[in-house]
Amino acid sequence: MRLHKPTVRPSLHIRVVGSWIAAALLLVSCAPAGPGPGSERAGQGDSSPATVRTLRMAMQGSNEQDSPALFGRSGSGSAAQEHFFIFHANLTALDSQGELVPRMTEKIPTINDGDWKVLPEGGMEVTWKLRPNIFWHDGIPLTAEDFVFGFQVATDPELPVTQLGQIPNIAQVEAADPQTLVMTWESQSSFGNVNGFDGVPALPRHELESLYRSGDKAAFENSPFWKDGWVGLGPYKLTQWVLGSHMEAQAFDQYFLGRPKIDRIIVRYVGDVNALVANVLAGEVDVIPAGAQLDIGQMVVLRQEWEAAGAGSTLFNVKSVRSLYLQFRDPTAPWVQDQRVRQALLHSLNRDEIVETLLYGLTQRADFYVPPDSAVHQLAEQRGLPRYGFDLARAERLVGEAGWTRGADRTFRNSAGQPLQIDVTVDGQGDNIKEAETFAGHWSAAGFQSQAVPYAAGISSQDGRQIRHNIQGVMLWPWNFGVADPRIATSFEVGTERGRWTGGNYGGYANPAYDALWEQFTNELDATRRREVHFQMVKHLAEEIPVFPLFYRVTGLAAQKALQGPGRTAPLQAASSWNIHTWELQ
């Protein structure tokens, strides 16, 4: 679904946001002027008349990554993907329509062509032929052995690398020759010919292998390579990284898809979202990509004050489902003990009203964990899967059947007089707290005890993961779409202390039936049968509701009029920079 541009009704909240941004604009106007859009002269002492076209990109401070590009260290969200496509590359990518396209491979492997084979014992063998003339940023040629090394690092249990995508299902990676890579899978998988931003990574052996083989994992983990020493394969080469401030990069002349059309990029990290928008309105920023994860309120201001004046354009793309992950680690929790309590909780949320009041009607309520324009979503509608619309009377009946009655204070209590309490934990940045307070307010009004419990923004990635996996009630967090996002609700994604709290199943939900469906889904190669299995997974989530779908979360792209190239992104790859090498500054 592509969200259109409806007429936005003014509201008090928009006016408040606008006043914050106006204040921020005053601060921006008092700051030293940065380079204007488009171009600047070459450095002093350079007699060349050539100009250097510089793109000024801005993102929230929390979007700064642990490493410029390596997936598993930098995360899986759209902010991490933005950095990946600037500084690194892999075998495949998705285009703006969500179609699989080759990147560093000559072609997409297929069963018909014989480079994707199903083995008699049940696994698979997928052969990739690398494009010729692919070079690392230091000029050394890429070889298949760099993928072999990358696989070893990505699967090393002693390193803090999150194994997302299909890496856990790959048994072995071998180099048949310098240009030929063979991946052997433990089982069949419909993702056999996909190796994108979350796939087996290439790492420069000439830079890292000797340190890795030394056995000093701490030295390897803390190597400058992962920071300002990054050497990748992407369209831009990192030249400077000032932590907490900005990155600078220059076009890589030997990029395998052709030298980027823009010579230089500055990625600025601005801590406050309103200051970020103010920089755009002041002409100090050329683009805010989808990965910057602006709240809808800020995008509305840009549409009203910037796009309307013809200074630039904005675009919304569906990226995820805003969700409440219920804590299942405590078997005594009322919602764990009785499915009717979960149903009552979801019926008590007026999600349509929330979309209108908090999100200005620019998205829509979500009922199922698939994109709204997908074939599986159509099946869910046709077959009448439960939706849990706002219905306080039904909620009260359900919670009453589960043994909870209203006390004198109108709060639901059990036979021992204890209230039914369910708090909403949330990352304390942007509009998150306001959203959490809204959901908690709806539950409190319905008769549950609930409050928002924000945790500090800007804490370390591992500390944040630990908090999210150990909440007491529900965790407000997105369910990000991806080629393997149904895995989120499997037991394989439950975070543990030993695993450094990696994984996306924040509530700790574990159900053997759902795990079995996931295995069937990944092993099914026939598209029609795989779609049916995917529907059964969506049906399981709709009936068991271990996670509450709230609304479709959209990513906002804002680009100056002079910038051509950024546009629609696929829900499974929500990063504007996927085609950054083709962007142009007029």
Q: Read off the tokens for 367.
A: 């009922």
Question: Is residue 494 located within the same domain as residue 406?
Answer: yes
Q: What is the DSSP string of 195-215?
A: -STTSSPP--HHHHHHHHHTT
For residue 318, the model assigns a pLDDT of: 86
CATH number assigned to the domain comprising residue 137: 3.90.76.10
| Boundary of a domain, candidates 164, 198, 230 | 230
Q: Are residues 158 and 11 in the same domain?
A: no
pLDDT of residue 39: 54
Beta bridge partners of 30: none
pLDDT at 354: 96
Sheet of 424-427, strands arranged across: 236-242, 246-251, 264-270, 54-60, 287-288, 547-560, 312-326, 474-480, 424-427, 452-455
Do 366 and 300 lie in a common domain?
Answer: no
The reply to whether 355 and 491 lie within a common domain is yes
Phi-psi map region of 565: left, alpha, beta (phi>0 left; psi -120 to 50 alpha)? left
254 and 143 within one domain: no
Q: Residue 494 is part of a domain; what is its CATH number?
A: 3.10.105.10
Domain residues for the domain of 263 are 1-86+234-317+563-586
Q: Which two tokens stand for residue 293?
A: 């994860």
In a shared domain, residues 34 and 54: yes
Nearest of 451, 437, 439, 450 to residue 411 by alpha carbon: 450
Residues 364 and 497 in one domain: yes
Residue 7: per-residue pLDDT: 38
At position 292, the amino acid (one-letter code) is A
Amino acid at 329: R
Kindly state the tokens that stand for 125. 């063998």
Per the listing, tokens 């990635």 go with: 461
Does residue 567 sit in the same domain as residue 515?
A: no
Dist. CA 244–CA 259, nearest whole Å: 29
**Same domain? 516 vs 380:** yes
Cα–Cα distance, 513 to 161 (Å, whole number): 28
pLDDT on residue 164 = 64
| Residues 59 and 269 sit within 8 Å (Cβ to Cβ) | yes
Query: Which of 186, 201, 230 corresponds to the end of one domain?
Result: 230
Tell me, yes or no, whether 265 and 393 share the same domain. Answer: no
Residues in the chain: 586
Positions in the chain whose pLDDT score sits under 70: 1-50, 70-76, 162-164, 272
Please report the pLDDT score of residue 569 as a whole number.
87
- If one counts the domains in the chain, the total is 3
- The CATH number that applies at residue 302 is 3.40.190.10
Q: Judge if 103 and 15 occupy the same domain.
A: no
The reply to whether 508 and 422 lie within a common domain is yes
Give the span between the Cα atoms of 526 and 28, in whole angstroms: 55
Among 94, 545, 134, smallest CA distance to 326 is for 545
CA 532/CA 246 separation, integer angstroms = 46
Residue where a domain terminates, one of 208, 230, 252: 230
